[in-house]
Amino acid sequence: MSVVITGATGHLGSLVVDRLIEIGQPAGRIVATGRDTSRLAALAQRTGVQTRRADFADPASLADAFAGVEQLLLISTTDVGQRFDQHRQAIDAALAAGATLIVYTSILNADTSRLLLADEHRRTEEYLQASGAPHVILRNGWYLENYTDQLPVIRQHGVLPGSAGDGRVSVASRQDYADAAAAVLTGGGAVGDGSVHTIHELGGEAFTLTELAATFSEVLGTPIAYQDLPVDDYAALLTGAGLQAEVATALADADAGLSRGELHTTSDDLAKLIGRPPTTRDQAVRDAVARPTG
């Protein structure tokens, strides 16, 4: 069975490929795709998978990349404002190529969330559902790495900034979400009756950013405080740190959504799919601190 992974040049896509190999999927039946195939060379050398160019701005490349596809993992793109059109073209190309299953990585509570980031996910979900294609939608919660990747700056300033108030966020690691996607692609996609046309709300441990700051303090051995900012001020801080204005606005808006509970779930679908408890914040922070730098 041919499995095509989009966005395999990214963290999540490459982890899915590694997990598929680990659980016995034949490398020759896995196709890792990306805009720049040179960035896939190391992955192909390590795993033996096929690589193909798939540029969402070039529909012709999608037809070539998806040739022979049976299952497609459509990892959402990072081009905010262009995502829906890119996803629509990928879904159309996969169906034209004869895909029998499309798995899409969405965002938590996409159908009800008011997050700016949720709109294109919601539209993609609706398009996929209307297409009639067998599908599984993985509504991924927030990534622990969204926070642990900031540790050097957080340690330097002693502050975890945000606009989340006392809202709780359901998180897991990239590896957790990758393992869930691999489980779906290898037949473990159903939590319940075994059917496709399934939506999974995925998230692990839930916490406030004040609680996360306390974990940072404990693990780092230095006081870290959560600083709650107005959304506009937080966006300005992110822009000042070097993020593009539209990205900073989307992330600050996400924190506002977090404060409203839009990045929280009580679903245990993630644990069921991966067959173990998702990564905790304590474990993630300790692993990040122990990781070699430089």
**pLDDT tens digit sequence for 183-218:** 999 986 554 444 566 999 999 999 999 999 999 999
State residue 6's pLDDT score: 97
Q: Where is 247: in which H helix or E strand?
A: helix 245-259
Q: Which two tokens mark 200?
A: 């999974």
CA distance 32 to 8: 5
Residue 132 · residue 99 · CB < 8 Å:
no
C-alpha count within 13 angstroms, C-beta hemisphere, residue 79: 11
Say which residues have a Cβ less than 8 Å from residue 238's Cβ, sequence separation at least 6: 247, 248, 251, 252
Say which residues have a Cβ less than 8 Å from residue 65's Cβ, sequence separation at least 6: 4, 31, 33, 52, 53, 54, 93
Residue 14 · residue 33 · CB < 8 Å:
no
State residue 291's pLDDT score: 87
Nearest to 225 by CA among 134, 154, 273: 154
Taking each helix axis as running N to C, give the angle between helix 174-183 and helix 11-22, from 0 to 180 degrees, rounded to the nearest 10. Answer: 50
State residue 192's pLDDT score: 43
Phi, psi dihedrals of residue 269, rounded to the nearest 5°: -60, -40
State residue 1's pLDDT score: 62
State residue 196's pLDDT score: 65
Q: Is 101 helix (H, G, I), strand (E, B) or coil?
A: strand
Residue 233 · residue 252 · CB < 8 Å:
no
> Which amino acid, 177?
Y
Q: Is 190 helix (H, G, I), strand (E, B) or coil?
A: coil
Radius of gyration of the chain (CA): 19
List of the chain residues with pLDDT < 70:
1, 188-197, 293-294
